[in-house]
Amino acid sequence: MKSFMNTGLRALIAFCVSIVNVSAAENSQAAIQLEPGQLPITSETFTCIRDMTKVRGFYVGNLKGDIDATLAVANSETGGVYPPGSVVQLVPGEVMVKHEVGYSPVTKDWEFFELDVSEEGSEIRKRGFADVVNRFGGNCFACHIQAKPQWDMVCEDAHGCETIPITKEVIDLIQRTDPRCSDNEELTAGESFELFKLKLKVGVGSAIGTVKEMM
Ligand code: HEC
């Protein structure tokens, strides 16, 4: 009986692993086969956040080289629609990229990415449109769609989105310590402690997020 249970359990685990592998293979294939007009985005696309251009508290770039068009919208007091190729980041692990007009009408052509970042670079953990859930169990789209229409799903602190429980100082600290950057300065003892506390919270949040994803 016991050995039957073991065999059954092993078979179940093997089955689950095979499902995970199949979906991983599908994902990597989707990244290689580009449709016409699709931006060639891979893990290498995302590097040190501070190599992008800072606008108020966040960073922008443009994968098609049209940074001026992206900056024009980011700096506009009345908002606007970000041009295709625009990349927006607040923290190293989360990115929004704007595709061509009509690519994903539901998400206003934005694609959401969650990255794992380290000194080696970025790994795309998740990418997609309305269904990307971050490691804390939050759906990117569900929050960002709350921004008033003129802000094109960019939340900042006063565009109508539910706020996130993290101060500007801590966001600044996270940007200054992006592990992908080669020129990070030393932190003061107080700053290191702030980051340590955040990492504890992120560890717990991430574990809760993973459990939610499994259920
Ligand atoms: C709980 C709601 C919530 C979830 C979930 C969420 N965000 Fe955000 N996000 C925000 C808010 C609010 C801000 C603005 C914070 C600020 O500037 O004070 C923000 C900022 C950003 C920014 C900078 C531009 C902007 O909108 O201000 C990017 C890029 C971003 N998030 C991407 C993502 C991605 C990608 C995901 C999913 C992997 C995600 N976010 C999940 C609420 C959320």
> How much is the pLDDT for 17?
43
For residue 96, how far is its CA from the centre of ligand 1 (angstroms)? Answer: 9
Q: Is the pLDDT of residue 215 over 80?
A: no
Rounded to 5°, the CA angle 132-135-140 comes to 35
How far apart, in whole angstroms, are the C-alpha atoms of residue 150 and residue 78?
7
156 lines ligand 1 (CB under 6 A): yes
87 lines ligand 1 (CB under 6 A): no
For residue 140, how far is its CA from the centre of ligand 1 (angstroms)? Answer: 7
Ligand 1 atom closest to the Cα of residue 163 is 12
Tokens describing residue 125: 């953990």
How far apart, in whole angstroms, are the C-alpha atoms of residue 191 and residue 173?
7
pLDDT band per the 50, 70, 90 thresholds, residue 83: very high
> How much is the pLDDT for 21?
43
R_g of the chain, CA atoms, integer Å: 19
Express each pLDDT in 141-174 by its tens digit. 999 999 999 999 999 999 999 998 889 999 999 9
Tell me which of 60, 124, 155, 169 to substitute to probe ligand 1's pocket, judged by most ligand atoms within 8 Å of the beta carbon. Answer: 155
How far apart, in whole angstroms, are the C-alpha atoms of residue 131 and residue 31?
17
pLDDT band per the 50, 70, 90 thresholds, residue 28: very low
> How much is the pLDDT for 38?
80
Q: Of the ranges 113-117, 182-186, 207-211, which one carries the lowest mean pLDDT score?
A: 207-211
> How much is the pLDDT for 166?
87
Calculate mean pLDDT across residues 14-20: 44
> How much is the pLDDT for 33?
67
